[in-house]
Amino acid sequence: MDLLEYIESRSEEHLSDLKEFLRIPSISTKREHKPDIQRAAQWVADRLRDAGFSKVDIIPTKLHPLVLAESLEAPGKPTILIYGHYDVQPPEPLNLWTSPAFEPTVRGGDLYARGSVDDKGQVHIHLKALAALKKSTGKLPINVKVIIEGEEEVGSVNLWEFVVNNKDRLKADFLVVSDTAMLAPGVPSITYGLRGLNYYQVEVTGPAQDLHSGVFGGAVPNPITILAGAIAKLHDKNFRVTVPGFYKDVVIPSAKERKAIRALPWKESEFRKTVGAPGLCGEKGFTAGERIWCRPTLELNGIWGGYTGEGSKTVIPSKAFAKISNRLVLNQNPEKIAKQVERHLRSLLPKTVHCRFDVLSTGKPWVAPYTHPVFQLASRALEQGFKKKAVFIREGGSIPFVNQMYDIFKIPCVLMGFGLPDENAHAPDEHLSLENYFGGIRSVALFYSNLAQL
Amino acid sequence: MDLLEYIESRSEEHLSDLKEFLRIPSISTKREHKPDIQRAAQWVADRLRDAGFSKVDIIPTKLHPLVLAESLEAPGKPTILIYGHYDVQPPEPLNLWTSPAFEPTVRGGDLYARGSVDDKGQVHIHLKALAALKKSTGKLPINVKVIIEGEEEVGSVNLWEFVVNNKDRLKADFLVVSDTAMLAPGVPSITYGLRGLNYYQVEVTGPAQDLHSGVFGGAVPNPITILAGAIAKLHDKNFRVTVPGFYKDVVIPSAKERKAIRALPWKESEFRKTVGAPGLCGEKGFTAGERIWCRPTLELNGIWGGYTGEGSKTVIPSKAFAKISNRLVLNQNPEKIAKQVERHLRSLLPKTVHCRFDVLSTGKPWVAPYTHPVFQLASRALEQGFKKKAVFIREGGSIPFVNQMYDIFKIPCVLMGFGLPDENAHAPDEHLSLENYFGGIRSVALFYSNLAQL
């Protein structure tokens, strides 16, 4: 039977199998769900065996197990490594779900459940595409390694330990990940660029302890006022970051790429609606799309200090805090940027306060060489699977895994995402478009089939 | 027996009686302490009867009872109204107390217990001074009304309802309050000025909901950054408040008063040590003392928005909040100032955000006519009681009761405080200097005795 016919004939079976997967509350942050995590790992392992993988291991770690599978029965053909995760975010707040988080429910062409888009549904696309290839043609056309982890939502610490210690076992020609979103409905997308992420915490201390604002007010350094004063100077009136050297290494996308980005079917009016603010703002000289995909930022992610309860308390606090992050683009060096930001921030503070500056994490930007043939194959497969032209997009966010894998293996990474930006990953009423789910299975199966010809 | 000899002979009895009072955990904020509150009110009423008050009422309110007593047996003599409160703050955090909060303990000349300085100890000074007058001379030399409430630490709402509805019953020539602090150890003080207090809450809303800082960062208005930008513009580089009109009605103390303030035995070096910041700062052209007592301020009392937990979360929050307050001096009009602050703050915000501005409270400044004979009598009594020269001081804080009483009765208010600034009112290890406690009883008894000659 033809591959696409086979997939078409199994639609109901696929959906019902996905629902079974989504019913397992594999919440990695909560200790009481350890048995569910174990069950989900077992479930993934079973499906991989079903897809013809002879070697399938559930590898225990210090926290949650990894599922690792290999099918190396296509000598001379490319080897891919597929990555995904079977763990999910907690479902809370429960009262905001229209149907229960772990009772998958179809409404209006979407499947609602925790994990539907992030990432069980997207993992399932690969499981079913592989099974379809195996069952309709008798064998997998390429060599496939699969690693599905259970700690993505808690930082992937044990995944990294495993990857670093098992480089040979994971070696491949390409990495394939489905954990991103399409540009918009009906626009199959390959993500070729991600911003890097630096995250800092700042602590400003004025008085040695909280003081009464009546008894001391007017004569002592107020850390909130002083921190706000420094924050206010981190951008100029054109919304450019004032950190000296911040833009020095930034690569501006080519005129061709900027043109391509502006030509994408992405509507600023839709973006405005999603944001819901009275107005937008950003760095002068760039479109909203460019600001998010191609320009570095400095954003305040949190601020706190003094009294934050109901009513009033007349305190001048000893301390005020802020969480600050940078999104970085090529060729900014995260460690260098972290030092520049710290130096600049300290220079903006008066001598009347102490400052503690902690770098919580740094992360490099990533841009794929999207003219490589593997990306063209992926693009063609998406076009065949969706009967819509595929586009190359960037994302403003960061996926540390992609960078780290690139650093270790130096192989192209194909991010074929089947989510949509408004499908509530990490929020109540998470869902996945069934059109994209089925289109995903078709596209991925075609992609792997085409890869054999590379 | 002479008045002071009588008081001296009763020292041990007084201290042991105060300890009994302090053992009652009359915490007004906590429902489970309602029986203790009742017990404390009863205790105060008993002591007032013991001091010779024939009419003593425990008046129930919607929350905690008031104790009201009258002794009007000195026709032709002045009538005073004494105010105090028998309720206390919660003792938490308990682990920071050297000895338990409700087990009064003497260490190094101080009595440690919740309520020792704020305000049971100071109420007790008046109870014992009155009893001493009665017992050593047979009758009170002046007419005395006493009102001791149980809701000071929760806003005095029911006190106000009672005062407004019982003006005739509370009518007096002078109000006497002991709920403030002395300038420094060994410096008996009368507080003649208080700053007014306006308190605001500001809410700035950018996006309609929290957004991912990767997916949106760089293209949307960040309410934290924007709020910080506005806060940074509320002071100029000379630490003057930039609100237009803010200083217009401010009365600068006379050269004589400024000179008197500078001559007080108040050490900026001690102040620096208490503050414990790397440096001090404040409005140009004024000393630290003047900044606190005689100049208006704008202080940030709280700020919050976005992620404030451990580690990192890549959010651009929908909202950021701040608590802001003004300390006001004569002749600033609190309502006018509130409007000016709101107008100015709004003018500092861009059109990309919404702003909600709530005035939580307003309060007038107060300065007593300290050349009035009653203040001279009080000053002389303090000098006799402490064998130290008494001083006239202001306080940077606010006591709404004093203003409100002045507004209703238009009578001089004598603030004779026996606390010290570092006695940890509202904090663990609250204490009261026994020297000041005994000096207080002597001074208050002498003051009331002298008042008969007015």
* B37 interface with A at CB cutoff 8 Å: no
Please tell me whether residues B23 and B125 are part of one structural domain: yes
- Picking from A334, A361, A388, the residue at the C-terminal end of a domain is A361
Please tell me whether residues B329 and B446 are part of one structural domain: no
Please tell me whether residues A217 and A227 are part of one structural domain: yes
The answer to whether A315 and A292 have CB atoms below 8 angstroms apart is no
DSSP code string of A391-408 = EEEEESS--HHHHHHHHH
Look at residue B155 in the predicted model and tell me its pLDDT. Answer: 82
Based on the residue annotation, tell me whether A87 is a catalytic residue of this protein. Answer: yes
In the structure encoding, which two tokens stand for residue A80, read together? 């891919």
User: Active-site residue among B119, B149, B151, B152?
Assistant: B152
- Picking from A304, A338, A361, the residue at the C-terminal end of a domain is A361
User: Residue B256 falls within a domain, yes or no?
Assistant: no
A177/chain B closest Cα distance in angstroms:
18
Please tell me whether residues A87 and A186 are part of one structural domain: yes
The ipTM (two decimal places) reads 0.88
In the structure encoding, which two tokens stand for residue B343, read together? 């107008």
* B215 interface with A at CB cutoff 8 Å: yes
Look at residue B391 in the predicted model and tell me its pLDDT. Answer: 96
Please tell me whether residues B400 and B384 are part of one structural domain: yes
Domain harbouring A243, CATH code: 3.30.70.360
Who wins on pLDDT, B71 or A310? B71
Please tell me whether residues A128 and A41 are part of one structural domain: yes
* B323 interface with A at CB cutoff 8 Å: yes
Which of 232-291 (B) contact A at CB < 8 A? 232-235, 271, 275-283, 288, 291
User: Active-site residue among A152, A179, A290, A430?
Assistant: A152
User: Residue B114 falls within a domain, yes or no?
Assistant: yes
User: Active-site residue among B87, B179, B395, B423?
Assistant: B87
User: Residue A290 falls within a domain, yes or no?
Assistant: no
- Picking from B310, B328, B361, the residue at the C-terminal end of a domain is B361
Residue B93's pLDDT band, with cuts at 50, 70 and 90, is: confident
Look at residue B153 in the predicted model and tell me its pLDDT. Answer: 87
Please write down the HEC assignment for all residues of A62-77: CCCCEEEEEECCCCCC
* A228 interface with B at CB cutoff 8 Å: yes
Distance from C-alpha of A73 to C-alpha of A71, rounded to nearest angstrom: 6
Summarize the confidence of residues A431-451 as an average pLDDT.
97
Which of B240, B323, B353 should we substitute to test contact with A (largest number of A Cβ atoms within 10 Å)?
B323
Summarize the confidence of residues B361-388 as an average pLDDT.
94
Please tell me whether residues A171 and A205 are part of one structural domain: no
**Is B312 a residue whose pLDDT tops 80?**
yes
Look at residue A342 in the predicted model and tell me its pLDDT. Answer: 98
Of A301, A314, A354, the CB nearest to B278: A354
**Is A1 a residue whose pLDDT tops 80?**
no
Q: 10 Å Cβ neighbour count for B244? A: 11
**Is B1 a residue whose pLDDT tops 80?**
no
What's the gap between Cα A51 and its chain centre?
27
The reported pTM is 0.88
Residue-averaged pLDDT of chain B = 95
Please tell me whether residues A245 and A172 are part of one structural domain: no
Q: For tokens 């390694």, what's the residue?
A: A145
Residue B196's pLDDT band, with cuts at 50, 70 and 90, is: very high
- Whether the ω angle into residue B331 lies within 30 degrees of 0, i.e. cis, is yes
Q: What percent of chain A has pLDDT over 90?
A: 86
Please tell me whether residues A141 and A59 are part of one structural domain: yes
Which of B117, B204, B222, B354 should we substitute to test contact with A (largest number of A Cβ atoms within 10 Å)?
B222
Q: Do B292 and A354 touch (CB under 8 A)?
A: no
User: Residue B396 falls within a domain, yes or no?
Assistant: yes
Look at residue B439 in the predicted model and tell me its pLDDT. Answer: 98
Q: What percent of chain B has pLDDT over 70?
A: 100
The answer for residues whose C-beta is within 8 angstroms of residue A131's C-beta and 6 or more apart is A47, A50, A51, A52
Residues of A in contact with B365 (CB under 8 A): none
CA-nearest of B330, B360, B358, B335 to B346 is B358
User: Residue B271 falls within a domain, yes or no?
Assistant: no
Tell me the residue range of the domain where A175 lies. 3-194+365-451
Please tell me whether residues B216 and B349 are part of one structural domain: yes
User: Residue A264 falls within a domain, yes or no?
Assistant: no
User: Residue A114 falls within a domain, yes or no?
Assistant: yes
Domain harbouring A186, CATH code: 3.40.630.10
Please tell me whether residues A27 and A76 are part of one structural domain: yes
* Nearest residue on chain A to B288, alpha-carbon basis: A219
Residues β-bridged to residue B332: none
pLDDT tens digits along A259-288: 999 999 888 898 999 899 999 999 999 999
Q: Do B292 and A213 touch (CB under 8 A)?
A: no
Domains: count for chain B: 2
**Is A83 a residue whose pLDDT tops 90?**
yes
User: Residue B322 falls within a domain, yes or no?
Assistant: yes
What's the gap between Cα A412 and its chain centre?
17
Going along B172-271, which residue ranges are E strands? 174-177, 189-194, 196-205, 211-212
**Is A373 a residue whose pLDDT tops 90?**
yes
Of B232, B313, B322, the CB nearest to A301: B313
Bridge-based pairing state of the strands B189-194 and B211-212: unpaired
Please tell me whether residues A178 and A225 are part of one structural domain: no
Look at residue B157 in the predicted model and tell me its pLDDT. Answer: 85
